[in-house]
Structures are given as structure tokens and as C-alpha cells.
Amino acid sequence: MKLRTAAAVLAFAASATVAPEAAYTAEAYRLILPEPAGDPITLTGHDLTIEQLAAIARQGQPVEISPEVRDHQADARSLLLEGLAEGVPIQGFEADRAESQARLAAAFRHVAVPGAPEIMDEAVVRAAMAVRANTLVYQPVTAPVQQMLLDFLNDRITPVVAEPGGPIGPGQGPMANIAAAMAGFGDVYYRGTRMPASRAINEAGLTPVSPADFDDRGLIDTDAFEIARTALLADRGRRALEWADIIFAMDMLGLSASPAPLSLPAQANRPYQWSAWNAARVLALIKGSYLFDGEPGTPPRTYPESLAPSLPGQGAAWLAWGALRDTVLVALNSSDQSPVFRVGLSPRESRELGTAQMMKFYVKGGAIEGGKKGFVVPATNQSAYPLTLMAASFAEGLGELSSAVAHRIPNLSTINPGDHAGLSGALDALDRLLADDIGNAVALMDGQAKEYPGRQFGEVPAAVWADFHAAPGGGQSALDFLRTRQAASYMPDAEPPPGADAPIPLAQEKIRR
């Protein structure tokens, strides 16, 4: 069997952009399956995790915002109004209130164009609302706009939203469709049933928002959908990699493979952090198995050629996932908005801030609006390119891992990178290969158990092996088996991926007043 050529790898990387989780079809809207409500997830603007976002989006976990967020948003709005009163130039804001209100009214009526491709996954829309609710801490929006995002999430009112890049008008986009629904325009799915937004708001006992001041730009000018989609794909990618680790261990057991290449001397010889971590994880999975046994005088076990690409492939895929995770966490907990409102920031806190040019953006504070002071400066951090780049890198890593998995499956000679459309497509391809691989691993373990009754497989592989046989149809649909179970549930004490507790970057520093 041959692995992919360099040209194929480059072709794969060129196609590895963030693709929608679901293609548009009129009947394909995917509803979430809410789970019993637990404690609310508190949004603070600086510590939302990918796992929490996925729980809000996919399981309907309730949300709330911290009192500090409410205070900071009120302070940011005070800074905005104080700055206008002092004549500080504020990007994109009209001082004329009549002109401002006309702009606001128009912005909150941008419904999805009828007949245009729609985002057909409720979880993606919910994730985007949760992302924006978390990052609005940095923006001077009014309290009703922030609260309506929370109400939409908690009452499961999910706006009908057009796919980005479709036939939409100027200033429109996915977040504009959400803004329109919050004001009572357009359609929504209310607890799974499509209806006019005005009706859903009324049935939920809510009141449509009446936007003011900076609400349109604060809510709409964001890449929240790109962030949300990428975060959900990163969450899905972690689950796929966890299954890849378990199935690799099962393959080792089925093939009587030597654990030597995973051992400390082998890993210390070339200490790539993620490969060493992954080797330690797989060693923990086969702990207590027969692979560490050996009759006196017998030669050591061999490591089959079919497994040779697995460890480097899985370590590299985890490395790429870790880089994507870190980038997503920054995006989830910081602002991609311009201008930037930093309440309480002093000219003394950075050398450039005290210069004459930067002092033009300084709000000195006074009697108006509580005397808030700070900086309101233009920014150029709106680009989603860091996310796109890391998603492309992860997709390429998944392609290499898919090659390694394919190498373990008999009679599978190659995989075609042209079949993989972006990160979502790469995950689809890996899922199918893992489904084939777990079926192969179970069959190999069956052979071992039959030939050597009583052989120990290790706690986690033995549990998965038994559950696979106990699944409906005897594990007939391996893909369903993998998709309806989380690998992490089999290994709750596993060492977490490196860097999960890294310090919060400067952009995510805790909000202050």
C-alpha cells in the first residue's frame, strides 16, 4: 500500500479552508437534541472554552452573563457617549442622533433573502450567538441587545440565517439576520418549529429590541460565525482524535505489536512534545494488557509495518489541533471589532499612548455619563485569517492521519485527498476510515481471544471491544457506533492535551472598570 505523494498533500492543503458543516438542501435543517438543563454557563468574556461552547450549541446548555460583564458594558457605553461629548473621533459613529437612528432601524431589518442558501445547522447558529454574547463584553451595546441574545439561546429561538457569501445586500450577513430576528423581523426556529420571529418572541413572553447608539455595529460587525463554525469543528476534531488513539491501541492488541516504539527511550530520542504525549496516552490505554507479557527465552514482539505511520501521524494531527485550539480560544474570548473600547486604560500604561497622536483617541472623563475615561481606537484585527490558517493546517494533519489509518486497514491501497472539502470534509473522511479501522481491530481482537482465551486487553480497549459487540446489530454500523459515543467517556482519567491550562493571552485579560 502506498501513502499519499507530496503533490497529493499539497493538493489537500490547498483545499483545506473552513467549509460549512452542512451543505444547503431544503429539507436538511439539523435540529439540536437538548439535554436536561444543568447549571448555567456563565459568560465572562475571558474564559469560555470550546467544550462549553459546544454544550451551549449542541445540548442547549443554559447561559448567563456575569455581573462584571453587565457593569463593563454599561461603562463602555458611557465611554462612547463621553467620547462623543468631548469630540473624540470614533470610527463609524454619527454624532447626529436622527441619522444614527435611521441607520439602526435599517440595520435591524436585514432578514435572510428568501430562497438564498441558509445555514442548515441549528448548532452553528446557536454557537455564533453564544460567541457574540461572550465577546460583546468589549462593546458598548445596550443591555436589551445583550439580554436578547441570552433569551434566544435559553428559550431556543434560533434565527433563520443566510450562508455567508450568498446573495445578500450591503451590510447584511449572518449576524444581521440575527439582529433582524431580535427586532421581530424574518423567520426563526422556535424549539424546532419554523415561524415568524415576531410570533416566537411573543410566545416566549419577550419584547422585540429597539436598538440604540452603537447596537448595530456592536452586534453585527464580527466574524462570530467563522469563529463558531471553527470552534465546533475543533471540538469534533478532538473527539475524532481521541477515537483514533483508542483504535490504534486496539490495532496494537489485535496484531500483538511491541510497545517498544512508544516507550521512554524511543520518545526521548526525538522529543516532539505532542508525539511523546500521544505515545504516553496509548501506553496508558494498553496498560495491563498481554502486550507487556513474554515467556522466558522468547524473542521480543515485533512492531508491524502497517502501524509504522500511526504514532507520528497521530502526534502531528494532535499538534495541529493544539494550534487550532489555542487560536480558537483567543477568538472566543477577545474582540474582533473596530473601534476598540478600553475602559479605564491610562496613557501611562504604554509608551505610545502618551503621544500627541494617540491622545486624540483618549476620553478624559468628566461629569457627563459618570465620568468614564479610557481609549477608543481604530483596529485592524477583524480578519479571520489566523483561524483559517490553523484550520487548514489541522485539515492537512488529518489528511496525514487518514493515510496512517488507511495503512492499517487491509485491502485499502490509497485515499484520495480530492474527496476532502476543507476541514469538515477531512473530518468526514477520517470518520469513515476510523469506522473501517475499528471493525478491523475488533475482528483482530476476536481472533486473539479465540486463539488465546483469557488474554488481557487492557481496561479501555476491552470495554470498547465489548460495547462494539453489544451494540445494535453487533456493531453493524461502526460509523454510528463512533458517532453516538464519546471516546473520552472510556478514558476519563486520561492526561489532557498539552497547553490546555496555558496563561490567558494579553488580549483576554480580565475586564476592568
Gap between the Cα atoms of 65 and 86, Å rounded: 31
Write a three-state SS string for 293-358: CCCCCCCCCCCCHHHCCHHHHHHHHHHHHHHHHHHHHHHHCCCCCCCEEEECCCHHHCHHHHCHHH
Establish whether the linkage from the previous residue to 339 is cis, with ω within 30° of 0.
Answer: yes
| Strand pairing report for 374-377 and 340-343 | antiparallel
Burial bucket for residue 488 (CB in 10 Å: 0-12, 13-18, 19+): middle
- Which residue do the cell numbers 473530518 mark? 427
C-alpha cell, 12: 489537500
At CB < 8 A and 24+ separation, what contacts does 23-29 make?
23/120, 24/117, 24/118, 24/120, 24/163, 25/120, 28/120, 29/118, 29/120, 29/121, 29/122, 29/189
- Cα of 69 vs its chain's centroid, Å: 22
- Evaluate if residue 411 carries a pLDDT over 80: no
Binning pLDDT at 50, 70 and 90, where does residue 20 land? very low
- pLDDT at residue 262 in the model: 96
- pLDDT at residue 100 in the model: 73
Q: How many of the other CB atoms lie within 10 Å of CB of 97?
A: 10
- Cα of 48 vs its chain's centroid, Å: 11
- Evaluate if residue 502 carries a pLDDT over 70: no
- pLDDT at residue 84 in the model: 86
Who's near 128: CB < 8 A, 6+ residues apart? Answer: 161, 174, 175, 178, 224, 225, 227, 228, 229
In this predicted model, what pLDDT tens digit does every residue of 428-450 receive, in sequence order?
999 999 999 999 999 999 999 99
What is the residue-averaged pLDDT of the chain? Answer: 86
Adjacent-strand bridge partners of 65: 43
Taking each helix axis from N to C terminus, what angle separates 224-254 and 273-285, rounded to the nearest 10 degrees? 50
Binning pLDDT at 50, 70 and 90, where does residue 472 land? confident
In this predicted model, what pLDDT tens digit does every residue of 232-249 receive, in sequence order?
999 999 999 999 999 999
Q: What is the DSSP string of 279-291?
A: HHHHHHHTTTSGG
Adjacent-strand bridge partners of 42: 64
Gap between the Cα atoms of 133 and 64, Å rounded: 9
Percent of the chain whose predicted confidence (pLDDT) is above 70: 86
Gap between the Cα atoms of 165 and 435, Å rounded: 34
At residue 259, the 3 state secondary structure works out as coil
Adjacent-strand bridge partners of 118: 162
- Compute the half-sphere exposure of residue 76: CA atoms within 13 Å on the CB side of its CA: 27
Binning pLDDT at 50, 70 and 90, where does residue 362 land? very high
Gap between the Cα atoms of 397 and 403, Å rounded: 10
C-alpha cell, 170: 450591503
The enclosing H or E element of 195 equals strand 193-196
Binning pLDDT at 50, 70 and 90, where does residue 372 land? confident
Q: What is the DSSP string of 38-69?
A: -SPEEE-SS---HHHHHHHHHH---EEE-HHH
- Which residue do the cell numbers 481606537 mark? 377
| Strand pairing report for 193-196 and 374-377 | unpaired
C-alpha cell, 401: 492521519
Gap between the Cα atoms of 16 and 8, Å rounded: 12
- pLDDT at residue 475 in the model: 57
- Evaluate if residue 419 carries a pLDDT over 60: no
- Evaluate if residue 164 carries a pLDDT over 60: yes
